[in-house]
């Protein structure tokens, strides 16, 4: 390349760079045209400081353009001063400003237009002067704020379609595309005013639409945050909802501001809607639907100390997807509440943080016909009368109570699976309390409850039914605790229930009786150090019932301070004590009543059933197996106690023992059989074979090491 050509290339590149720099650093402009006082039609100095009043459109037509970082300052500002005038101002571009120390009127008596775009800012800086759009009768005013960073900041009030004393002309405020308008005190929408909030943001001390202006709130955020401010939408029933799927209208009531509606509030009617009550804000109304329509989404949040939402009836997810969050000391109060109301709906409510409360003076239904979820976390509290998880057929309800201080307080019943599917999780020191508890209450329902972790508790002040007429499952794990008076596993005639208590420190404490298979089918598992306690225990109570209990593992205990009946009245019962598990009772019965059948197996080193009196076949049919090092102890033992009863006992294997401190009766009034094999041992003071008239008793002792030790007398055919 020649030197001349290289010089031309360098010059060309330099010229391009210079032109580019000049283009990107264009000077700020303040341009006026037409009827402008002062200044007339001109390119004004920048910054342009007007000492007093600036009128754009005095009697004729005038424009003001503040561009590319230009700055205009004045006392009062008017667009459309007299009735025949037209004034238009555009403030556009980052750092472009129009500052007023006095009034700004967009349409005083004439026609005024204000455009704030692309980061421009208009400010009314004095708290003694207001902003007006369509100030006096006959005027027309329109203000549009659009674009991120674009702002109109008012230090006092803003009047749309009027002034501070009466309605005026036609006033319109448009807020688009993240544009922001702030008002320190009152925003008043007169009946001649229109607010189009469609993607922008309005923040005001109070919002007053009591004169029923036009409020089109479809997208963006409307915040009322004045201390003692009020939001009045001008209607009894108010909806927060978008016009399109991607719209996100958000109403914020904050900083002790309040709103009181005579009617209903819907958050998400056809599309999305959002409500936040913050920093001491208070909202009061009758009924609330969070997500009303089938395709809608509604989200409501109450957060901060003294923030309140006071309602008559609350529905979270009426037909669509609803969410309620109560946080950081917020409080919601209502009568009835529903989470997941209609079929196909979903609702979720979360109450989290110390002093956060949801207070229901009536029932709380989680999954009415839809799907509902309740979360109580980190010290949150929920209060209600009765509650239902999965109320109707096809519904699903789930509640989780987790964290120290977290509470769900039911002053009446708690039903986990009423006719639908219910799940309750109590975790990490959470606490649930109620009167009656039901897991799987109605035929066709399913219920599942898990209580896990130290200090986690489910406290039932009355009965607990695990599978009342439906299917119920209870799991108590990792030091969780469940308490009640009477406990029923498989309570109703078609009920199926299973309860598992597992892990050191895990406890199911029944202050009265425990029925494993009351009228239905019941299973109890106590494992790995879990403990179950009650007064009397019953396995297989009524006709048609079946009950099975397994106590397995070192430290696992079933403590009956009264009797334990395996096969109680006319039911069938089975007891397994294995691998170091321990069962205690005053009296033990296998086949308690005529027509009942009971079978117990105690097997493995360390496994024990400790009684005062033990009856193998009391009036029904009873069977006892002591195997592989298992031990049964008591004061006295009976095999075939009453007339018509049949009892069979087998003690087999080295280390297997049945130890009676006093007498053992094999065939007391009924029929008894005892087999001692494989090194098993039976001991007592006096032994009886066929004690009463009509009874039969048979004992077989076989294999090396097998022993029946009678420390006093052995009576064969006593009577």
Q: For 150-193, how does the pLDDT look when each residue is reduced to its tens digit (9 = 90+)? A: 999 999 999 999 999 999 999 999 999 999 999 999 999 999 99
The three-state secondary structure class of 29 is: strand
User: Per the structure, how many domains does the chain have?
Assistant: 4
Q: Is the pLDDT of residue 11 over 80?
A: no
Token pair recorded at residue 694: 């009509």
Are 17 and 65 members of one domain? yes
The three-state secondary structure class of 17 is: helix
Domain limits for position 693: 586-719
> Which residues neighbour 683 within 8 Å (Cβ) at sequence distance 6 or greater?
657, 658, 659, 660, 707, 708, 709, 710, 711
Q: Provide the 8-state DSSP code for 28.
A: P
Last residue within a domain, chosen from 214, 246, 276: 214
Strand partners, 399: 374, 424
Instruction: Band the pLDDT of 27: cuts 50, 70, 90.
Output: low
Are 567 and 604 members of one domain? no
Are 405 and 506 members of one domain? no
Are 566 and 597 members of one domain? no
Strand partners, 133: 106, 160
Q: Which residue has the tokens 């920093």?
A: 279
* 222 domain-assigned: no
DSSP secondary structure string for all residues of 318-333: SSSEEEEEEETT-EEE
Q: For 535-547, how does the pLDDT look when each residue is reduced to its tens digit (9 = 90+)? A: 999 999 999 899 9
* 176 domain-assigned: yes
* 445 domain-assigned: yes
- Report the alpha-carbon distance of residue 144 to residue 88 in Å, rounded: 11
Are 327 and 248 members of one domain? yes
| Residue 719 pLDDT | 62
Strand partners, 590: 566, 616
Report whether 345 contacts 291 (CB < 8 A). Answer: yes
Are 411 and 490 members of one domain? no
* 376 domain-assigned: yes
Q: Provide the 8-state DSSP code for 662.
A: S
- Report the alpha-carbon distance of residue 126 to residue 123 in Å, rounded: 9
Q: For 230-271, how does the pLDDT look when each residue is reduced to its tens digit (9 = 90+)? A: 999 999 999 999 999 999 999 999 999 999 999 999 999 999
Are 170 and 307 members of one domain? no
Are 62 and 177 members of one domain? yes
The percentage of the chain sitting over the pLDDT mark of 70, rounded to a whole number, equals: 96
Q: Is the pLDDT of residue 10 over 80?
A: no
* 227 domain-assigned: no
* 429 domain-assigned: no
Last residue within a domain, chosen from 392, 420, 448: 420
Q: For 626-675, how does the pLDDT look when each residue is reduced to its tens digit (9 = 90+)? A: 999 999 999 999 999 999 999 999 999 999 999 999 999 999 999 999 99
- Report the alpha-carbon distance of residue 71 to residue 212 in Å, rounded: 37
* 229 domain-assigned: no
Instruction: Band the pLDDT of 347: cuts 50, 70, 90.
Output: very high
Distance of CA 35 to the CA centre of its chain: 62
> Which residues neighbour 484 within 8 Å (Cβ) at sequence distance 6 or greater?
437, 459, 460, 461, 462, 463, 464, 509, 510, 511
- Report the alpha-carbon distance of residue 219 to residue 217 in Å, rounded: 6
Are 320 and 183 members of one domain? no
Last residue within a domain, chosen from 581, 600, 626: 581
What average pLDDT does this structure show over 116-144?
96
- Report the alpha-carbon distance of residue 91 to residue 430 in Å, rounded: 57
Are 414 and 444 members of one domain? no
Are 174 and 248 members of one domain? no
Q: Give the H or E element holding residue 701.
A: strand 696-701
Instruction: Band the pLDDT of 717: cuts 50, 70, 90.
Output: confident
Q: For 693-711, how does the pLDDT look when each residue is reduced to its tens digit (9 = 90+)? A: 889 999 999 999 999 999 9
Are 176 and 309 members of one domain? no
What average pLDDT does this structure show over 311-320?
97
Give whole-number Cα distances, 236 to 207, 217, 263, 315, 507, in Å. Answer: 15, 16, 5, 18, 53
* 653 domain-assigned: yes
């Amino acid at each position: 390349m020649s030197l001349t050509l290289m010089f031309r290339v360098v010059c060309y590149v330099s010229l391009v760079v210079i032109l580019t720099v000049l283009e990107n650093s264009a000077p700020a402009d303040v341009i006026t045209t037409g009827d402008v006082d002062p200044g007339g039609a001109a390119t004004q100095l920048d910054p342009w400081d007007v000492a007093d009043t600036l009128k754009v459109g005095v009697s004729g037509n005038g424009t003001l353009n503040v561009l590319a970082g230009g700055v205009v300052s004045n006392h009062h500002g008017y667009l459309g001063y007299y009735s025949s005038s037209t004034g238009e101002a555009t403030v556009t571009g980052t750092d472009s400003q129009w500052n007023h120390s006095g009034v700004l009127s967009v349409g005083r008596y004439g026609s005024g237009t204000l455009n704030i775009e692309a980061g421009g800012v208009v400010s009314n800086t004095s708290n003694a002067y207001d902003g007006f759009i369509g100030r006096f009768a006959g005027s027309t005013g329109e203000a549009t704020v659009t674009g991120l960073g674009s702002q109109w900041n008012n230090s006092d009030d803003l009047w749309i379609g009027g002034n501070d004393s009466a309605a005026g002309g036609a006033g319109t405020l448009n807020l688009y595309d993240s544009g922001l308008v702030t008002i320190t005190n009152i925003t008043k929408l007169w009946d001649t005013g229109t607010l189009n909030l469609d993607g922008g943001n309005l923040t005001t001390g109070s919002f007053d639409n009591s004169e029923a202006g036009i409020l089109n709130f479809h997208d963006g955020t409307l915040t009322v945050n004045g201390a003692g401010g009020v939001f009045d939408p001008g209607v009894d029933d108010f909806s927060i909802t978008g016009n399109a799927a991607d719209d996100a209208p958000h109403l914020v009531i904050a900083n002790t501001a309040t709103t009181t509606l005579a009617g209903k509030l819907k958050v998400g009617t056809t599309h999305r809607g959002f409500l936040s009550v913050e920093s001491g804000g208070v909202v009061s109304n009758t009924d609330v639907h969070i997500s009303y329509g089938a395709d809608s989404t509604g989200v409501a949040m109450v957060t901060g100390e003294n923030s309140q939402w006071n309602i008559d009836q609350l529905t979270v997810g009426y037909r669509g997807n609803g969410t309620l969050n109560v946080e950081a000391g917020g409080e919601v109060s209502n009568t009835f509440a529903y989470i997941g109301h209609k079929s196909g709906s979903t609702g979720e409510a979360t109450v989290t943080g110390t002093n956060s409360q949801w207070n229901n003076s009536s029932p709380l239904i989680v999954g009415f016909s839809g799907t509902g979820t309740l979360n109580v976390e980190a010290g949150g509290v929920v209060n209600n009368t009765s509650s239902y998880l999965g109320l109707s057929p096809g519904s699903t309800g789930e509640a989780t109570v987790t964290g120290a201080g977290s509470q769900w307080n039911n002053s009446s019943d708690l039903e986990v699976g009423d006719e639908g599917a219910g799940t309750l999780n109590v975790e990490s020191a959470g606490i649930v309390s109620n009167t009656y508890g039901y897991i799987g209450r109605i035929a066709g329902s399913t219920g599942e409850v898990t209580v896990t972790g130290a200090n986690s508790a489910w406290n039932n002040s009355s009965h607990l039914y695990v599978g009342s007429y439906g299917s119920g499952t209870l799991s108590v794990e990792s030091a969780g605790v469940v308490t009640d008076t009477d406990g029923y596993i498989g309570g109703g005639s078609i009920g199926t229930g299973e309860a598992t208590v597992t892990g050191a420190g895990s406890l199911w404490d029944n202050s009265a009786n425990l029925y494993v298979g009351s009228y239905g089918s019941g299973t109890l598992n106590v494992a790995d150090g879990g403990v179950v306690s009650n007064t009397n225990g019953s396995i297989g109570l009524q006709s048609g019932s079946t009950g099975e209990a397994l106590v397995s593992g070192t430290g696992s205990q079933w403590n009956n301070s009264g009797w334990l009946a395996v096969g109680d009245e006319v039911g069938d019962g089975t007891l397994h004590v294995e691998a170091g598990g321990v069962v205690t009772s005053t009296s033990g019965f296998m086949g308690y009543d005529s027509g009942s059948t009971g079978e117990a197996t105690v097997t493995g080193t360390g496994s024990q059933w400790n009684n005062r009196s033990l009856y193998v076949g009391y009036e029904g049919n009873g069977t006892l197996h002591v195997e592989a090092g298992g031990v049964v102890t008591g004061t006295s033992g009976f095999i075939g106690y009453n007339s018509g009863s049949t009892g069979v006992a087998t003690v087999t294997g080295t280390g297997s023992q049945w130890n009676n401190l006093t007498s053992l009766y094999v065939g007391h009034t009924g029929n008894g059989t005892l087999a001692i094999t494989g090194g098993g041992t039976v001991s007592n003071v006096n032994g009886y074979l066929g004690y009463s008239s009509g009874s039969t008793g048979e004992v077989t002792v076989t294999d090396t090491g097998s022993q029946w030790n009678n420390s006093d007398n052995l009576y064969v055919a006593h009577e």
